[in-house]
């Protein structure tokens, strides 16, 4: 199912469609109750809260409405342009986990027991994957192992509002007198607490404070699919590529009409989250994510995005921030960049080296031999000097010796069956290396 706008603007349901919708909804509720019956009392209590959110999402999914955006009404938004120790503050770190990552996270956090920061964790909801044909859960019980391993999923970062509230942490932070949370993707190493933004938020009169601030940054060719901020019927909204009619996709990707994209660094008012959750008025578009499981079964996941809530808050604002606040590490290519001498770590913030003449980040593309972190680390004796690098492509069985220097555009291709060992101390500037180059100890 595609969430394009043109497919989603529909008239009222026919009587047959309405009866079919009711039947699907009743069957889903029956299946969810049967799943809850397989859990113990404590697990069932937590899962019932999750399922309440899922039922609401499934109900809206069956309405087949989605985001009704009229393209002609879209406008560009108006332009607006080591913490605790330094300030003797007590700012806690809150991590939202899923049932897939919770155990591993808790083990790592044991290392930080004596650090000067309180770390809270909570789990996002666990939703059942839906059989694409029957529109019923594929789970046979509430278990997450064995045959049930693929039956559950965490429903996207838009679930933060309900899970944060259900965990009790929202009420705890409000009771401590806290007013804002700063939310970011954990893989964005450029996302730190910016005191200038915080000061701007707190300097407004209490009755005119911003409830939701989204950090955006200038779009490059690498970001053309990223969600953008738009002005729509006097409200700021997040427009994702899945909402764009096919006829306007090229226009959406253009850097002339839509010059900015969402970094997912968000400043959100805690009292406003509480108000919207209590009124059940958090309006998030549904993202229908189709998946094919290992056995070939086609399923769908109903998800939401945290930034889509911007239209539900009063006094929302977008702030254009430097690119340095968006530094995601999702691949080994990203990891190579942040481990190199291009960046240094200062009080928890990554900053680009002043020795680099241009503030742009090199384009790095490592092949499948570098995908896993362990493989990546064994292929570098140490990380090359990349201060003057513009572009690096590496494909095939390639290793790097110590103190290698890469400059300009460097392309290294080892064909199937070949291996290339870049020797220690090598300096490659605007070079293409291919074929077979072995360096053997003797």
Q: Structure tokens of 308?
A: 């889509």
Q: Structure tokens of 227?
A: 């969600």
Q: Put the strands of the sheet holding 316-320 in their side by side order.
A: 180-183, 260-269, 212-218, 316-320
**Using CA atoms, how far apart are residues 78 and 318, in angstroms rounded to an integer?**
9
Residue 184 near residue 265, CB atoms below 8 Å: yes
Closest by Cα among 409, 419, 374, 369 to 388: 409
**115 annotated to bind ligand:** no
What DSSP letter does each residue of 202-228 carry, written as one string? HTS-GGG--SEEEEEEE--GGGTTS-E
Q: Structure tokens of 222?
A: 């690498």
> Nearest 5 degrees, angle CA 126-CA 128-CA 133?
160
Q: Is the torsion defined by CA of 202, 205, 209, 214 positive or negative?
A: negative
Q: Structure tokens of 360?
A: 């742009």
Which one from 330, 365, 372, 402 is the annotated catalytic residue? 330
**Using CA atoms, how far apart are residues 286 and 305, in angstroms rounded to an integer?**
8
Collapsing DSSP to helix, strand or coil, 113 comes out as coil
330 is catalytic: yes
**Using CA atoms, how far apart are residues 98 and 95, in angstroms rounded to an integer?**
10
Annotated binding site for substrate: 157
The residues annotated as belonging to the active site are 330
Annotated binding site: 157
């Amino acid at each position: 199912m595609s969430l394009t706008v043109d497919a989603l603007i529909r008239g009222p349901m026919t009587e047959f469609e309405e009866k079919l919708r009711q039947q699907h909804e009743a069957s889903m509720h029956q299946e969810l109750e049967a799943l809850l019956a397989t859990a113990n009392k404590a697990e069932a209590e937590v899962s019932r809260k999750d399922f309440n959110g899922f039922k609401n999402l499934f109900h809206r999914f069956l309405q087949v409405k989605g985001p009704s955006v009229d393209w002609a009404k879209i406008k560009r938004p108006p332009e607006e342009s080591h913490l605790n120790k330094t300030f003797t503050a007590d700012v806690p770190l809150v991590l939202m986990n899923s049932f897939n990552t919770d155990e591993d996270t808790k083990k790592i956090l044991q290392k930080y027991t004596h650090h000067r920061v309180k770390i809270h964790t909570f789990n996002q909801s666990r939703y059942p994957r839906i059989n694409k044909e029957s529109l019923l859960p594929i789970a046979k019980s509430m278990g997450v192992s064995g045959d049930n391993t693929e039956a559950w999923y965490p429903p996207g970062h838009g679930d933060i509002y309900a899970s944060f509230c259900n965990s009790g942490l929202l009420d705890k932070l409000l009771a401590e007198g806290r007013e804002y949370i700063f939310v970011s993707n954990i893989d964005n190493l450029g996302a730190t607490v910016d005191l200038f933004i915080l000061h701007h938020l707190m300097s407004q009169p209490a009755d005119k404070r911003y409830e939701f601030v989204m950090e955006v940054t200038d779009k490059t060719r690498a970001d053309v699919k990223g969600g953008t901020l738009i002005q729509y019927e006097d409200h700021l909204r997040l427009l994702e590529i899945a909402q764009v009619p096919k006829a306007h996709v090229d226009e959406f990707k253009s850097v002339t009409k839509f010059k900015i994209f969402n970094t997912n660094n968000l400043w959100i008012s805690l009292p406003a989250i509480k108000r919207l959750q209590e009124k059940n008025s958090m309006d998030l578009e549904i993202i229908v994510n189709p998946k094919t499981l290992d056995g070939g079964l086609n399923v769908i996941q109903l998800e939401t995005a945290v930034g889509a809530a911007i239209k539900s808050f009063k006094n929302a604002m977008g702030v254009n921030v430097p690119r340095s606040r968006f530094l995601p590490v999702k691949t080994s290519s990203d990891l190579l960049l942040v481990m190199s001498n291009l960046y240094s770590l200062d009080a928890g913030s990554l900053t680009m080296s002043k020795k680099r003449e241009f503030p742009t980040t090199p384009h790095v593309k490592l092949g499948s031999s570098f995908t896993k972190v362990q493989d990546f680390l064994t292929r570098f004796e140490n990380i090359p000097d990349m201060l003057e690098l513009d572009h690096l492509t590496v494909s095939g069985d390639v290793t790097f010796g110590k103190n290698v220097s890469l400059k300009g555009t460097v392309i290294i291709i080892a064909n199937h069956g070949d291996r290339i060992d870049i020797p220690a101390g090598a300096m490659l500037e605007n070079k293409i290396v291919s074929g077979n180059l072995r360096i053997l100890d003797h």
